[in-house]
A = this chain, B = another copy of it.
Amino acid sequence: MEPPPPAPQPPVDLAALADQLRPAVLKLSRHLRREAQKVGVSALDAQLLGMIKLSPGAGVSDLADLEQMSRPSMSAHLKRLEAAGWLTRQANAPGGDKRRVGLVLTPKGAQALLAIKRSRNDWLAARLAALSASELCALAAGLAPLGRLVEVKS
């Protein structure tokens, strides 16, 4: 008879959580951008290369959706990566859609990706190394829900 209680637990103050999460994320992303600039390759670039490596032939829209970014923005990033010689636009697959571009890594791009990953002694990893094991566990555990926050809605 009684309606289900809104939440079994005291419902965790969402606003407070948001107010803690927001500044941390903003500061962290500032740092990431700054560090990336020193290195010359942005975190996004590395990620895009990785994504293309994993699913070669992906299109601009696919990547834009995955990264939750506008198509023009993604297009510009890819243009830059192509100009760097790190990826190419594949001729359309047989029976293919002539509108689509099939993005694939060049050997140079694959090499660049490896180099980036190898030099992942970067700022973030260094900062992580300063945390205790239990802190790292907590962080790792919190990562899944964090990921869900930015999940693509199906």
Q: Which chain B residues border A133 with CB–CB below 8 Å?
A: 7-9, 11-12
Closest to A124 in B: B18
CB distance from A153 to the nearest CB of B (A): 10
Nearest Cβ on chain B to A104's Cβ, whole angstroms: 21
Q: Closest CB of chain B to A103's CB: distance in Å? A: 18
How far is A47 from B142 in the complex, measured between Cα atoms in Å? 23
**For the complex, is A84 an interface residue (Cβ under 8 Å from B)?**
no
Would you call A55 an interface residue if the criterion is a C-beta within 8 Å of the partner chain's C-beta atoms? no
Does A20 sit at the interface, judged by CB under 8 A? yes
Stretch from A29-37, A87-95, A106-114 at the B interface: A29-37
- Distance from A53 Cβ to chain B, minimum over Cβ atoms (Å): 13
Q: Knowing A7-B133, A149-B131, A150-B31 touch, does A140 contact B24 (C-beta < 8 A)?
A: no
- Assuming the contacts A18-B124, A124-B21, A133-B8, asked whether A143 and B143 have C-beta atoms less than 8 A apart, the reply is no
Which 5 pairs show the lowest CB-CB distances between chains A and B? A142-B142, A29-B29, A135-B145, A27-B150, A139-B145
Residues in chain A within 8 A of chain B (CB atoms): 7-9, 11-12, 14-15, 17-32, 43-44, 47, 67-69, 117, 120, 122, 124-125, 127-131, 133, 135-150
Can you give 15 contacting A-B residue pairs, CB < 8 Å? Answer: A8-B133, A9-B137, A12-B133, A12-B137, A17-B139, A19-B120, A20-B147, A21-B143, A23-B43, A26-B29, A27-B68, A31-B68, A135-B148, A138-B144, A142-B142
